[in-house]
Structures are given as C-alpha cells and as structure tokens.
Structure 1
Amino acid sequence: HHWNASTRNRQIAKFFSQRGITVVEIAMPYHFERSRPGSLYADYMLSSNLGRTIQSVRQAVWDGRKLIRWLKSEGYREVSVLGMSLGSWVAGLIAAPDSAVSKASLFLTAGSLADMVWTGRATRSIRDSLEPVIELTDLRRAWGPLNLENYAHNLARPDLELHVVLATRDKVVLPDLSRRLIQKLKAVGVRPNVLELNCGHYSLAMPPYILLAGLSLKRFLSCADK
C-alpha cells in the first residue's frame, strides 16, 4: 500500500483471489494496526528524521522477506510482490536480492526516494523541514540505501521479471523520476513491462485507470516465465 494509506487494497485483492491467485496484504510500519498511538498519519515511516526513515523502510523489507519465507514453507512455488508508491520502494528492495521472488510489480515508483521527497507535492512539509539543514545532494547520499537505482544490477537478475505502472500527470512521484529509473534498468539489461497511464497519482485508484492497471498486472502475472 502507499504511504498514509487509510484502507487496504481490497478491490485488487478480490480481483486476483477470484482468479486463483493467493493474495497476502502486509501493513507497513506505522500503518493500520501498526499505527503509533495518537498519530494522525504515518509520520514515523517517512519523515525528515533520516535515520528513522531508513529504519522504517528496512523493517518493512524485513517483514516482507519473512512473509516470503513463510509462504515458501507453506508450499507456494512462485511468489510475486506488488507495491504502490512508497510501497513500491519496499517491494523493489524486497525483490532485488531475494531469489524467492520471481516477479515484481511497482506502481507509481521511482529510483531516488530523496528526489521524490524533494519534488513531490505530498512530501512538501518534509522538504520544508530538511531544506534549511541539508542539500538534496547530501540527502541522496544519506538515503542511498533506499534508492532503487542503486540496486539496478540486482533487479537485473535473470530469474526476476519487472512490471512498472506510472502516471504521466503524477505530482507526487514525478514521471521524469520514474523514467529515470526505467532507463537505469534498461542500461543494465532489464526490459521491464511498462504501462504509462494518463492520470495523476491519486486518480490511478479510480476507473478506468485502476482497471487498466489491474488488467496489465493480470497479464504480467499470468504470462509464462521466460
């Protein structure tokens, strides 16, 4: 799910479960039942506290990898990961080193989390807190472990297939940042399945865009491994 999500992705879960694909939804730190008491939003998951943001994303990745280990122990042979917005960073970081993941679908993603926070409309307050004390170049360095571009070679492993959905009118994760990640992936030999939709970050969740994204994802998950 995305940062500050208030509901789970029940429509997508139902869509795939009705088609014979088991769906397990996982809550990122500080979301849903994991919310910090008294907090109105998931301010500890992504914030101007650089170390805590790294720690939170790392915890989300560990949670995902533990879940995959459990699924494998239960007999599931093929495991795919899907992440949306901030969740796509988590999904990408899970898939990059983990050979148990055969497919990864990243909705509304980019490479540099630092650039996303610096340029995105939804993270303006975080930039306002950071800008007086740190430059973007230093933020990129500090959040280097969270930059999917730094894991391009891992994502290029031959037993992993990638699917990317981006919104061409996105003001939260700017399309240029998404395309920069795609170009980085292509430079190391990845040929991701890319769907570009003429919508914004939040309107992706509405028809017809979510239907188009869902059908594209269904084809990606259903296609035979190369």
Structure 2
Amino acid sequence: MDRWERKLATRDTNRVVRPFEWGTEWLHTVGFPDCPAEANGNARDCVARFVTEALGDSGRFFSYTPVRDYRLRDGLLTFTSPVRSLYPKNDQVHAMWFRAPEDQGRALVVLPQWNSGPDGHVGLAKMLNRFGISALRMTMAYHAERMPEELQRADYHVSSNIGRTIHASRQSIIDVRACLDWLAEQGYRRVGILGTSLGSCVAFIAAAHDPRVRVGIFNHVSMYFSDVVWTGLSTQHVRKGFGEEVSQDELRRCWSPISPASYLGRMKGRDMHNLLIWARHDSSFLPVYSQQVLRTFRELDLPHRVFTLPCGHYTTGQFPFNLMDGLAMSRFASRHL
C-alpha cells in the first residue's frame, strides 16, 4: 500500500519550489486586520499581529458583502467572488449544479481536493443525486477554470508565500458561504458541506462560521493547515520553499487563521452532524494529525461519526477505495441531512 501511495503521490513532474515570502501585501488587501503592504523589514511582526487580530474576531475576518450577480446557465453557476485577488480570472467563481429530482430541499456544497481539475468530484456529485441529495460542486480559488495563465497547478492556494496562502484560503471559504447564500435563495434549508483534503480544511472553517450548515462531511482531516504542508509527501516542494526562514511551530501559528483547530469550538452546541474520514496509510494527512481531530471532537463532545479508510491519501481515489469513500459520504448525507 505504501509503495502504491508513493507512486501516485510522486507521479506529477510539474511541481515548482517557489521562494519564501511573507506576503504582507496580500494581507493588506483584506482590510481587517490592518497590515501594511510594505513591512519595511518588520514582516514577521506584522504577520504575527495580523494573526492575533484575525483569530480574535474571526467572524469579521470571514465576513463579506453579499453576491449580486449569480448566473445559472446549463447547470453552471457563476458569480464574482466577494474577495478580490490580483487575478480577475480567479475572482470568477464556477460551481456545477447537480440537482436531484426529488431532493426534498437537501443540498451539499462539494469541494474537491487540492489541484483537482474541472471534473473533480463530478462522479461523487452524481452519486449524491442517486441518494436524493443535490450537489453544488464549487471550484476553489486558483483551481481549474480560475487558474491564472502562468500556472500549471493551483500553487497560489498553497505555497511558501504565507500571506497569499491565507488570502487564498479566506477567498475559498467566503466563496463557499456565497454558494450557501445561493442555495438559500433557491429555497434550500437543509444544507451541508462536503470537502476533500484541502477542500476539507475549507469546509471545516466555512461550516464553523455559518450556522446554516447542518451536515459536515470532512474527507481527510487535520487540525493544522501547516502540519500537512510541512510533513506531507505531496507538499515537500512547498516545504522546501520555506528553507530555514520559519519553523514548523511558527508556520503553524502563522497559518492558524486558516486551520480547523482554531474554530472547532464554534461548533459546540450546534445541531450539526459531522462525518470525519481518515486513512490509515495517509502520506499527506499523516494519521497522527487526523487522530488529533478525532480526539478534539470527542473532548468537545461534538456529534460525529468516524469512517476509516484502509488505504492512503492518493489511493483513496483508486478502486475500490473511491467507491467505499463515496458510499460512506453519500449514505451519511442521506441519513442526516
């Protein structure tokens, strides 16, 4: 299994080691918390202050102006992201709408994994339809149709540029909430989120900040965004970009505003059903970090079920594990949404 996992994880030849950057100019565009675009040699302290303030008022940090330009045509929902980046193409959100004929007002926002192509999780969306669940499959920032011309991979969502990575995750999280707004406009009241890998992290934080979410399905889980990047087999090129500029502990703090660990307490007391999926041989979301999530859910007494896959991260996408995974998620959604 480990040999198969490594083969799949290392088959891409277009991974790029990018230079380390604090990215304060990206944090400056957020507006709150305040961060000067030019840190003048004080970037580490600027980022530290930004992180403290963002965590102190995460509701404001993830707030946004409602979308006014939703367009649905031939099953494709598009709209302008409430968050602006430096790339107009990235700021046009694409979400494929798969409506189940008799969904009884039930729908999930579906988020594929990092570097997913335009067809990622389309099969899962169709499987959900067979279980009576409509699915709105959203493309995250810098992926597929939103990818800037100079990229071959969604590097700007996860990279050794600390500020840009925070900005990208915040954009994807807010775009998910805008998708939930659209579902509400269509009359859907029984809604949830399903996310895989990077999509799981985005889904966690969106769900924690949006009480409309009744079901959360988190496919591969970790407490901290940075631990996955630092230790995962598939992100070693990103890890190399940091060099000796930051430690694993410092990066964990820097990226805490985009880590599930910072917000799981917000789910306490919610009438929300959660499915936590982890893989025993995961080389990207190491089992030790997945176990931290399971333990925290128990300690907080958050309603949840656990499904354990007998494979790795990349092998989850291979038969028969992809079928096992899809069925577990679809059955849970059908039962609890």
Q: Which runs of 5+ in 2 are unaligned?
A: 1-111
- Three-state SS of the structure 2 residue aligned to 1:123 is helix
Match of 2:195 among 59, 74, 83: 83
Q: Which structure shows the bigger proportion of residues in strand conformation?
A: 2
After superposition, the CA RMSD in angstroms is 1.3
CA distance in 2, matches of 1:24, 1:182: 27
Name 2:182's counterpart in structure 1. 70
Higher helix content, 1 or 2: 1
The residue aligned with 1:54 is 166
1:80 Cα deviation (Å)? 1.0
Q: How far did 1:18 drift?
A: 2.6
Give the structure 2 partner of residue 4 of structure 1. Answer: 115
Asked if 1:148 is matched to 2:260, the reply is yes
Instruction: Give the SS at the match of 1:94.
Output: helix
Asked if structure 2 preserves the Cα contact closer than 8 Å seen for 1:27 and 1:34, the reply is: yes
Q: Distance in 2 between matches of 1:222 and 1:84?
A: 18
Q: Quick one: structure 1 residues 224 and 160, their matched pair in 2 at CA, closer, same or farther if it must change by over 3 Å?
A: closer
1:56 counterpart letter in structure 2: A
Aligned length: 225
Amino acid at match of 1:5: S
User: Counterpart in 1 of 2:284?
Assistant: 172
**Match for residue 125 of structure 1?**
237
Matches of 1:179 and 1:127 in 2, distance apart?
22
> 1:19 and 1:198 mapped to 2: Cα distance?
24
SS at match of 2:234: coil
Matched to 2:125, the amino acid is A
Q: Does 1:44 align with 2:156?
A: yes
C-alpha contact 1:156 1:185 (8 A) present in aligned 2: no
Unaligned runs of 5+ in 1: none
Q: Helix, strand or coil for the counterpart of 2:136? A: coil
The normalised TM-score by structure 2 is: 0.65
Q: Percent identity?
A: 33
**Shift of residue 203 of structure 1?**
1.0
The letter for the 1-side match of 2:115 is: N
1:181-209 deviations in Å (ceiling 9; x for gaps): 11112111114211011101011112221
Larger radius of gyration: 2
8 A contact 1:86–1:109 mirrored in 2: no
Deviation digits for residues 87-125 of structure 1, max 9, x if unmatched?
100011110121110001010121101111110011101
TM-superposed deviation, 1:224: 4.6
Q: 1:206 aligns with which of 312, 315, 318?
A: 318
**Aligned-partner residue type, residue 298 of structure 2:** K
2:227 to 115, 123, 132: 115
Q: What residue is the counterpart of 1:163 in the other structure?
A: 275
Return the letter of the residue paired with 1:176.
V
Q: Please give the secondary structure, in 2, of the residue aligned with 1:122.
A: helix
Paired residue type of 1:215? L
Structure 1 residue 157 displacement after superposition:
3.3
CA contact (8 A) 2:213 2:272 kept: yes
